[in-house]
């Protein structure tokens, strides 16, 4: 990867680096490879410390560094809060060459005398813009006071604001600035688009877009934990396969949700920016911003969850009148020109579903043995023609096919007409305040648990 080609030799030659590269461009390998190559595996001392803002990212990076250093015998330990101390203490006593962790738990171990950084050679701050934010700054200063002066320090992030470069001087000396994205801040493989809707109609717009776009998998970003809970429940009650991660959940629940979407057993993950920052999910097809990001940098990190490692992806934003100012600012700063799309109408949904169904049927027909087509399907054609000959027959045939689709092709079921009470009027982009779930005729199936799923809206796997 280009970032690895550029950064690895510089890290090996000594000195400090600030590396700015697009999300999904291979930054973990860029620091993980030289770190693992430099480890003295005959020593039990900790020689590298990698710090990150979230538990999920710490787990992910620790797994990748472990894989990189496996055949050299590099021992890597993930250290983060929300879980028991036992396994972490055992790993420290066994001798962890590389510690990957979050500031809070690292400070906890330092305070209890369980971490010794006397032999530390390298400090890595991944997602550096977040690590040097005001929320982490006191902890970072405290940790730095326990680290040797002669170490190397490297900062990696997709966005490096001037504030980060200024604060980095506390950790670094004459750092070299390496950038692979001066003229762009978002991967070029991502299609950026947005839908204008009213604030009170966002959840129904989201549902309609999901059914129209039919994404393989997606992360849906919200600005608050309350919105995460609301959107997850809204989708789950409509049997959309969705789960959530936010700071309110236990670490076990968060890990289970991320593991499920990575493995392909979960289709939609609803998350706050902090909870999902830096998460690498292979082949994630869509990122959806339910609420506009607070800053242009946040938008870059959101959309960077898709289009990773040269793959394509789609970034969708739902923009109400309350969001439009921040959204325009994001476009100007990030030099992105998203395409405005019209909210799909009921006819658009029906046409799209019919198109998908036709493709599926044709594909399955081609895979059937020829004798099955000749002996069984041909025998049923006269039955279908008989039903279609009369008005009542046509109604019967339509009912039979619709019932079959509900049972065997749940992904083809479209939104009920009253799921969007304002209908096409929402496309005009007017804004209103307040939000709340619209009642759908006939109630809803499924539970309200964040991990609910199955039935309509769930893709067969």
83-135: pLDDT as tens digits: 889 999 999 999 999 999 999 999 999 999 999 999 999 999 998 888 887 67
- Encode burial over 278-299: b for 16+ CB neighbours within 10 A, e otherwise: bbbbeebbbbbbbbbbebbbbb
Edge-first strand listing for the sheet containing 17-20: 76-79, 98-101, 48-51, 122-126, 152-157, 17-20, 176-179
Helix, strand, or coil (residue 52): coil
Is residue 365's pLDDT more than 80?
A: no
| Cβ proximity of 244 and 271 under 8 Å | yes
Is residue 48's pLDDT more than 90?
A: yes
Is residue 230's pLDDT more than 90?
A: yes
Beta bridge partners of 190: 313
| Cβ proximity of 62 and 100 under 8 Å | yes
Helix, strand, or coil (residue 170): helix
Beta bridge partners of 315: 192, 287
Beta bridge partners of 18: 155, 177
% helix / strand / coil in the chain, to the nearest 5? 45, 15, 40
- For residue 164, which phi and psi values (nearest 5 degrees)? -65, -40
- Amino acid 255: pLDDT: 82
Domains of the chain with CATH codes:
2-179 (3.40.50.300), 190-343+423-428 (3.40.50.300), 347-412 (no CATH)
Is residue 186's pLDDT more than 50?
A: no
pLDDT-based confidence at 213, cuts 50/70/90?
confident
- Amino acid 152: pLDDT: 95
Return the ∠ at Cα 193 (arms to 276 and 280), rounded to 5°: 25
Is residue 426's pLDDT more than 70?
A: no
Is residue 447's pLDDT more than 60?
A: no
Is residue 456's pLDDT more than 50?
A: no
Please give the Cα distance from 157 to 300 (Å, whole number). 11
Helix, strand, or coil (residue 178): strand
Q: Please, is 214 exposed, middle or buried when counting C-beta atoms within 10 Å of its C-beta (0-12, 13-18, 19+)?
A: middle
Q: Please, is 363 exposed, middle or buried when counting C-beta atoms within 10 Å of its C-beta (0-12, 13-18, 19+)?
A: exposed
Total count of residues recorded for the chain: 461
**Dihedral (CA of 255, 256, 260, 266) sign:** negative
Return the ∠ at Cα 173 (arms to 118 and 15), rounded to 5°: 75
- For residue 189, which phi and psi values (nearest 5 degrees)? -80, -5
Identify the residue with better confidence: 122 or 181.
Answer: 122
pLDDT-based confidence at 33, cuts 50/70/90?
very high
- Amino acid 36: pLDDT: 96
- Amino acid 452: pLDDT: 38
Identify the residue with better confidence: 215 or 290.
Answer: 290
Is residue 458's pLDDT more than 90?
A: no
Beta bridge partners of 124: 50, 154
Q: What is the DSSP string of 224-290?
A: SHHHHHHHHHHHHHTT--EEEE-TTS-HHHHHHHHHHHHHTS--EEEEEHHHHTT---TT--EEEES
pLDDT-based confidence at 161, cuts 50/70/90?
confident
Strand pairing category for 242-245 and 176-179? unpaired
Average the pLDDT over 4-31 and give the result: 87
- Write a three-state SS string for 347-396: HHHHHHHHHHHHHHHHHHHHHCCHHHHHHHHHHHHHHHHHHHCCHHHHHH
Q: Which of 125-129, 218-222, 451-455 has the lowest mean pLDDT?
A: 451-455
Numbers of helices and strands, H then E, in the chain:
18, 14
Tokens standing for residue 128: 């550096």
Q: Express as a percent the part of the chain with pLDDT over 70.
A: 74
pLDDT-based confidence at 454, cuts 50/70/90?
very low
| Cβ proximity of 306 and 158 under 8 Å | no
pLDDT-based confidence at 21, cuts 50/70/90?
confident
Is residue 373's pLDDT more than 80?
A: no
Q: In the predicted model, what is the mean pLDDT of the chain? A: 79
- Amino acid 412: pLDDT: 52
Angle between helices 55-69 and 251-263 (to 10 degrees): 60
Q: Which residue has the tokens 């689709």?
A: 405
Angle between helices 27-38 and 55-69 (to 10 degrees): 50
> Which of the residue ranges 169-173, 297-301, 323-327, 401-405 has the most confident prediction, judged by mean pLDDT?
169-173
Q: What is the pTM of this model?
A: 0.55
How many CB atoms lie under 10 A from the CB of residue 386?
Answer: 11
């Amino acid at each position: 990867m280009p970032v690895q080609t550029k950064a690895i030799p510089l890290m090996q030659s000594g000195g400090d680096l600030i590396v700015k590269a697009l999300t999904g461009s291979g930054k973990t390998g860029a620091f993980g490879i030289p770190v693992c190559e430099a480890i003295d595996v005959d020593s039990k001392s900790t020689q590298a410390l990698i710090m990150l803002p979230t538990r999920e990212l710490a787990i992910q990076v620790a797994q990748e560094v472990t894989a990189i250093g496996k055949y050299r015998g590099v021992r890597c330990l993930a250290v983060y809060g929300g879980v028991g101390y036992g396994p972490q203490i055992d790993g420290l006593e066994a001798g962890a060459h590389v510690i990957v962790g979050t500031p809070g738990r690292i400070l906890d171990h330092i305070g209890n005398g369980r971490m010794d950084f006397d032999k530390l050679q390298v400090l890595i701050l991944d997602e550096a813009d977040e690590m040097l934010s005001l929320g982490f700054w006191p902890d970072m200063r405290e940790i730095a006071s326990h680290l040797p002066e002669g170490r190397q320090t490297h900062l990696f992030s997709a966005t490096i604001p001037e504030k980060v470069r200024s604060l980095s001087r506390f950790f670094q000396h004459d750092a070299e600035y390496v950038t692979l994205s001066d003229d762009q801040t978002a991967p070029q493989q991502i299609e950026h688009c947005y839908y204008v809707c009213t604030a009170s109609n966002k959840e129904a717009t989201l549902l309609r877009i999901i059914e129209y776009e039919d994404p393989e998998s997606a992360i849906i970003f919200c600005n608050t934990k309350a919105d995460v809970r609301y959107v997850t429940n809204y989708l789950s009650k409509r049997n959309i396969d969705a789960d959530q991660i936010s700071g309110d959940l236990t670490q076990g629940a968060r890990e289970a949700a991320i593991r499920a979407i990575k493995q392909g057993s979960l289709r939609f993950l609803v998350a706050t920016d902090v909870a999902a920052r830096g998460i690498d999910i292979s082949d994630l097809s869509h990122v959806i911003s339910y609420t506009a990001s607070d800053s242009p940098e946040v938008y870059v990190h959101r959309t960077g969850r898709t289009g990773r490692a040269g793959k394509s992806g789609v970034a969708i934003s739902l923009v109400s009148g309350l969001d439009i100012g921040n959204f325009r600012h994001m476009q100007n700063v990030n030099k992105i020109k998203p395409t405005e799309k019209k909210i799909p109408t009921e006819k658009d949904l029906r046409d799209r579903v019919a198109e998908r169904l036709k493709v599926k049927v044709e594909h399955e027909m081609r895979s059937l043995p020829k004798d099955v087509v000749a002996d069984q399907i041909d025998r049923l054609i006269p039955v279908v023609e008989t039903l279609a000959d009369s008005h009542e027959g046509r109604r019967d045939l339509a009912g039979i096919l619709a019932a079959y689709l509900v049972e065997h092709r749940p992904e083809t079921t479209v939104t009920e007409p009253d799921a969007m009470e304002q209908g096409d009027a929402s496309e005009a982009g007017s804004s209103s305040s307040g939000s709340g779930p619209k009642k759908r005729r006939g109630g809803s199936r499924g539970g309200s648990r964040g991990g609910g799923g199955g039935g309509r809206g769930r893709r067969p796997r």
